[in-house]
Amino acid sequence: MKKLLLIPLLFLMFSCYNVERNCKDFRTGKFSFEYEVDGVKKTTVFERNDSIEIETFEGKTDTATIRWVNDCEYILKKLHPKNSAEEKAIGMKILTTSGNSYTFEFGIVGTDQKQKGTVTKISE
């Protein structure tokens, strides 16, 4: 009898957890991405429209094309790569959204190594 009561309880616990993914809200706009390198806080600001992303980091600007795979995934490819590493496409996947930010994972297309980060939308 106890086992019969446990099954519906477990079902309720897991069915109540819904991950918010309003990816379309983050398709365009101006964004900020903060991260730490060797204990130093770094910030990248980028602006994205449907097909182009312009990124500024430490006074340098880069432009990449965007190819949307679906509402929550896209591929970035630098327009003017400076070396062979920059020629590789980066896969981006929005995992969750919350208010004006989203959590994502990214990595070089074709590799299993992924990193995660959080982006904040600054403006439309």
- The tens digit of pLDDT for each residue in 59-86 reads 999 999 999 999 999 999 999 988 998 8
Which sign does the torsion angle of CA 24, 54, 37, 121 carry?
negative
Q: Work out the pLDDT band at 16, boundaries 50, 70, 90.
A: low
**Domains with residue ranges and CATH for the chain:** 19-123 (2.40.128)
pLDDT score recorded for residue 10: 46
Average pLDDT across the chain, whole number: 85
Distances (CA, A) of 38 to 32, 92, 95, 107: 20, 24, 26, 20
Instruction: Please name every residue paired with 48 in a beta bridge, in sequence order, or none if there are none.
Output: 29, 53
Q: Contact, 115 vs 106, CB < 8 A?
A: yes
| Separation CA 91–CA 108 (nearest Å) | 6
Q: Above 90 in pLDDT, residue 103? A: yes
| Separation CA 74–CA 34 (nearest Å) | 20
| Separation CA 81–CA 101 (nearest Å) | 28
pLDDT score recorded for residue 39: 87
| Separation CA 124–CA 116 (nearest Å) | 23
pLDDT score recorded for residue 85: 86
